[in-house]
């Protein structure tokens, strides 16, 4: 294992080195939070694929393949479909807005009053996403170094917090690009063919396993539908994903680069399911399906290759964790703290924005590590976060992009009703049940339509400013800070 350890140590040291390099590039708020909006198609595609394909997609995807066969690919497939839909239909408009957060977009569209409540929901989601990614370090470092859970979380979390705090999005972008390459080599080019060969090839796999392991819908239609609602729609509205769209050099890069990344996700999904199916042939009686990845790596791969593939798993977790961390800190600073400070009458702007955002990443990173140590099982917590995100925010966000008659009252009511409905139905049916997201989305949609139609249309000046920003005009210089408030509505007598 000495060679494997060396590979991992070099990889981790490289991540810290990238953080130091990124610190030298991040001299402004735009550079720190969105890499100066300068990423070209190659780097954009790689980093976008890295952020969406985390530990759940790698370790969890193989585990679903072990449990369900080829249909275990559906979870990661729906992630790829969501990224494709975002890239083809929405990314160009999102990139042209030149904002930093989803809540800023909602303020622009609805008139400056929707940001705080949506920011709180988005912050809870990104925090729990960062926590679940951080907890995943425990599994990987236990396999690598046989250390206990708390030490694993602190070690992995500290590395991510360090390079993210130092260089912000530039550090995360460079490390994600390295992680994308490591994942591609480790999972697609090495583990996939080796696993299939070790299992005796596809013919032997079909002979050894039941037919349902090779049925496209074997995992169940209702499960696939729920994956679409949670993951496909979640890709459309998550701050961690939008913040990567904001890094694109142009709307064309956002559209085509994201399309390439989405297609890569589809390939990765099938690869994970095939690896899991091969693991089922080799190890039919594992205590947990999620042990399939680590078991096949440690038992079947040669020295050196094993270290690279474990580094690939570590890369998958670190890319999601760092992306969620900077998204969480950006929302906490821009959408919550800045607004509360403004309401308290402290409107001073003569502060170092890079230093302020760096402090928020550090604070959110420490909080993430502490919560990760305290929680034993966060599957239910992550489900709550995703249900609140999709049930509360999907309709107001997509409604704002697609329906000009939507109003701020409709948006806020949809967030409140959708979120409360999800909570109520989770209490009634159970946190992991499918019904809460179904009924929550329906309640949110009905509320948005009814309240929007029953209230005064959005002020024409606000909509005109919104259309200008969608067209790529009227955005502030990056040195000016956050996007300005949209024009205030005119008094009723003036309309």
pLDDT digits (tens, 9 = 90+) for 6-39: 877 887 788 778 777 777 777 788 888 888 898 9
DSSP letter at 215 equals: -
- Interhelix angle 201-208/251-282, nearest 10 degrees: 60
Residues 221 and 367 in one domain: yes
Structure confidence at residue 380 (pLDDT): 67
Structure confidence at residue 344 (pLDDT): 54
Q: How far apart are CA 51 and CA 428, in angstroms?
A: 34
Query: What residues form DSSP beta bridges with 248?
Result: 39
Q: How many domains does the chain have?
A: 2
Look at residues 182, 178, 163 and name the one whose alpha carbon lies nearest to residue 358: 163
DSSP letter at 301 equals: S
How many helices (H) and strands (E) are present in the chain, helices listed first? 24, 0
Q: Is the dihedral of CA 152, 157, 162, 164 positive or negative?
A: positive
Report if residue 479 sits inside a domain.
no
- Name residues of the chain where pLDDT drops below 70: 1, 114-115, 139, 142-144, 342-352, 376-381, 477-495
Residues 136 and 252 in one domain: yes
Question: Six-digit token pair at 166?
Answer: 């130092």
Structure confidence at residue 143 (pLDDT): 66
- Residues 55, 320 contacting (CB under 8 angstroms): yes
Report if residue 493 sits inside a domain.
no
Question: Six-digit token pair at 298?
Answer: 């440690």
Report if residue 419 sits inside a domain.
yes
Task: Using the CB atoms, write b or e for 429-448: b if 16+ within 10 Å.
Answer: eeeeebebbbbbbebbbebb
Structure confidence at residue 381 (pLDDT): 67
- Taking the mean position of all CA atoms in its chain, how far away is CA 92? 19
Residues 440 and 463 in one domain: yes
485 — phi, psi (to 5°)? -65, 145
99 — phi, psi (to 5°)? -110, 180
Structure confidence at residue 343 (pLDDT): 59
Q: What is the pLDDT of residues 204-216, one digit of tens each?
A: 999 999 999 999 9
3-class SS of residue 248: strand
**Secondary structure element (H or E) that encloses residue 76, with its range:** helix 74-85
- Residues 106, 411 contacting (CB under 8 angstroms): yes
Domain CATH number, residue 130: 1.20.1730.10
Report if residue 484 sits inside a domain.
no
Residues 292 and 423 in one domain: no
Residues 73 and 180 in one domain: yes
Q: What is the DSSP string of 7-69?
A: HHHHHHHHHHHHHHHHHHH--SHHHHHHGGG-B-HHHHHHHHHHHHS-HIIIIIHHHHHHHHG
- Residues 260, 45 contacting (CB under 8 angstroms): yes
Residues 263 and 391 in one domain: no
Report if residue 447 sits inside a domain.
yes
DSSP letter at 287 equals: S
Residues 361 and 435 in one domain: no
Residues 415 and 469 in one domain: yes
Residues 309 and 166 in one domain: yes
| Residues of the domain holding 402 | 377-473
Report if residue 345 sits inside a domain.
no
Look at residues 317, 297, 319 and name the one whose alpha carbon lies nearest to residue 308: 297
Instruction: Write the CA distances from 238 to 36, 207, 367, integer angstroms.
Output: 20, 42, 20
Q: How far apart are CA 369 and CA 219, in angstroms?
A: 34
- How large is the greatest C-alpha to C-alpha distance in the chain, in angstroms? 79
3-class SS of residue 433: coil
Look at residues 53, 19, 59 and name the one whose alpha carbon lies nearest to residue 158: 19
- Taking the mean position of all CA atoms in its chain, how far away is CA 172? 13
Structure confidence at residue 146 (pLDDT): 75
Cβ contacts of 458 within 8 Å, gap of 6 or more: 109, 110, 111, 404, 406, 407, 408
Report if residue 179 sits inside a domain.
yes
Q: How far apart are CA 85 and CA 90, in angstroms?
A: 7
Report if residue 465 sits inside a domain.
yes
Residues 371 and 407 in one domain: no
Residues 405 and 383 in one domain: yes
First to last CA, the chain: 75
Residues 393 and 288 in one domain: no
């Amino acid at each position: 294992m000495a060679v494997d350890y060396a590979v991992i140590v070099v990889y981790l040291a490289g991540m810290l080195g990238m953080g130091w390099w990124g610190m030298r590039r991040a001299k402004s708020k735009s550079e720190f939070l969105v890499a100066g909006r300068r990423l070209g198609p190659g780097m954009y595609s790689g980093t976008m694929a890295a952020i969406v394909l985390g530990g759940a997609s790698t370790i969890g995807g193989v585990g679903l393949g072990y449990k369900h066969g080829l249909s275990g690919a559906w979870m990661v497939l729906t992630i790829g479909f969501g990224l494709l839909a975002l890239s083809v239909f929405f990314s160009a408009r999102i990139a042209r807005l030149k904002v930093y957060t989803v809540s800023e977009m909602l303020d622009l569209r609805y008139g400056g009053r929707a940001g705080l409540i949506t920011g709180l929901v988005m912050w809870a989601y990104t925090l729990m996403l960062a926590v679940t990614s951080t907890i995943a370090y425990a599994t990987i470092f236990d396999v690598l170094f046989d250390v206990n859970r708390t030490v694993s979380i602190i070690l992995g979390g500290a590395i991510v917090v360090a390079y993210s705090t130092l260089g912000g999005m530039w550090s995360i972008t460079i490390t994600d690009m390295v992680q994308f390459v490591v994942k591609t080599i480790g999972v697609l080019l090495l583990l996939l063919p080796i696993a299939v060969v070790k299992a005796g090839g596809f013919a032997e796999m079909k002979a050894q396993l039941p037919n349902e392991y090779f049925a496209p819908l074997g995992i169940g239609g209702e499960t696939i539908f729920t994956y679409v609602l949670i993951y496909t729609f979640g890709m459309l509205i998550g701050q961690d994903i939008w913040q990567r769209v904001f890094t694109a050099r142009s709307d064309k890069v956002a559209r085509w680069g994201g399309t390439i990344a989405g297609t890569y996700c589809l390939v990765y999904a099938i690869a994970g399911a095939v690896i899991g199916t091969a693991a089922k042939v080799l190890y039919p009686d594992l205590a947990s399906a999620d042990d399939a990845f680590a078991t096949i790596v440690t038992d079947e791969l040669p020295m050196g290759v094993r270290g690279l593939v474990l580094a690939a798993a570590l890369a998958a977790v670190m890319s999601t964790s760092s992306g969620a961390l900077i998204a969480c800190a950006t929302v906490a600073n821009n959408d919550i703290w800045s607004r509360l400070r403004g309401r308290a009458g402290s409107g001073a702007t003569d502060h170092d924005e890079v230093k302020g955002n760096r402090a928020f990443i550090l604070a959110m990173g420490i909080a993430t590590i502490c919560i990760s140590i305290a929680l034993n099982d966060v599957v239910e917590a992550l489900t709550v976060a995703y249900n609140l995100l999709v049930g509360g925010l999907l309709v107001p966000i997509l409604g704002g992009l697609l329906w000009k008659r939507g109003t701020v009252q409709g948006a806020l009511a949809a967030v409140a009703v959708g979120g409360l409905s999800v909570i109520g139905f989770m209490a009634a049916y159970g946190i992991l049940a499918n019904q809460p997201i179904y009924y929550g989305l329906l309640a949110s949609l009905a509320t948005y339509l009814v309240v929007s139609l029953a209230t005064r249309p959005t002020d024409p000046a606000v909509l005109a400013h919104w259309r200008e920003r969608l067209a790529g005009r009227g955005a502030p210089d990056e040195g000016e800070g956050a996007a300005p408030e949209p024009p205030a509505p005119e008094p009723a007598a003036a309309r």
